[in-house]
Amino acid sequence: MSIKVNFQDLGSADYKKTWEYQEKLFNRILTEKLAGETAGREELPLGGYLLFCEHPHVYTLGKSGAENNLLIDAGFLRKINAQYFRIDRGGDITYHGPGQIVGYPVLDLERFGLGIRQYIHNLEEAIIMTLRQCGLESSRLGSASGVWLDADDPSKSRKICAIGVRASRHVTMHGFAFNINTDLKYFSYINPCGIVDKGVTSLEKELGARQDTGKIRELLRTNISSVFRMELVNPL
């Protein structure tokens, strides 16, 4: 039986406003979950929310990240029209910008019978499925989160999708950044995810042509729905 999840495509969205919106949904689920437990109800009507969006240039540093993985100063950030935020997800520094598909699942994992490791594995699997449909084989890289190309060759391995999440009482927020037509020079200003010996790539770079982001969003939406056995419904 599939679990209903509210899907919202936010289009191009300011990072801070989107973060605040995630927090609102996250807290709503926690409040409803606690109320349900107090009242003896086993389930909420929704398993959560799935947000898709694209951000203007922004760097985010996870709570365990190192500040020195941002390789530029405030003046240069302004020069390249980028923002910078220290946030409450796991992981180190990453970049969001035009040409990415950014996904924020705000889910009650208990509804799906998942722990955090399997949750991240499922996100990676949906990305891997999507890339295969686009003609690229990808995989995981040991204990490093995200999706990689040529993961078994240290001299060639490169990340195409970063994943960083936060969870409290089995409710998630933050998510993934999937490089489609991304301007990769913005990654040269950081040590992506704190890693200095691996590359970053995009679907456009790998396939040698600009990609239809709308089509890939639909593939990804379908694959996430399938992997998690969720039914995506329109905003209420």
pLDDT of residue 37: 63
pLDDT of residue 41: 54
76 — phi, psi (to 5°)?
Answer: -70, -35
pLDDT of residue 64: 79
Please tell me the distance from the alpha carbon of residue 133 to that of residue 123, in angstroms, as a whole number. Answer: 16
Mean pLDDT per 10-residue segment, the chain (236 residues): 92 96 95 72 75 97 87 94 90 92 97 95 98 96 89 91 93 96 94 74 97 96 97 76
Homologous superfamily (CATH) for 3-233? Bira Bifunctional Protein; Domain 2 (3.30.930.10)
This prediction has a pTM of 0.92
53 is catalytic: no
From the candidates 53, 134, 161, 193, give the one annotated as an active-site residue.
Answer: 193
Q: Where are the domains of the chain?
A: 3-233
Please tell me the distance from the alpha carbon of residue 146 to that of residue 130, in angstroms, as a whole number. Answer: 14
